[in-house]
Amino acid sequence: MKDIEIILQDKNIKPNSDIMGTILVNYSGKYDSIVLNTQILGSNELMLFTSYNGKKISQRSSRLFISKESMPNNKADFTAQITFEPVQKHDIKFRASIIEQHKEIESDVVFASLS
Report domain extents, the chain: 4-114
Asked if pLDDT for residue 31 goes beyond 90, the answer is yes
Largest separation between any pair of C-alpha atoms in the chain: 44
Fold of 4-114: Immunoglobulin-like (2.60.40)
pLDDT category, 83, cuts 50, 70, 90?
Answer: confident
H-run or E-run covering 76? strand 75-81
pLDDT level of residue 85 (50, 70, 90 thresholds): confident
Alpha-carbon torsion angle 66, 69, 73, 77, nearest 10: -30
- Mean pLDDT, residues 52-81 taken together: 91
In the predicted structure, residue 68 carries a pLDDT above the cut 90 = yes
User: Does residue 87 surpass a pLDDT of 90?
Assistant: no
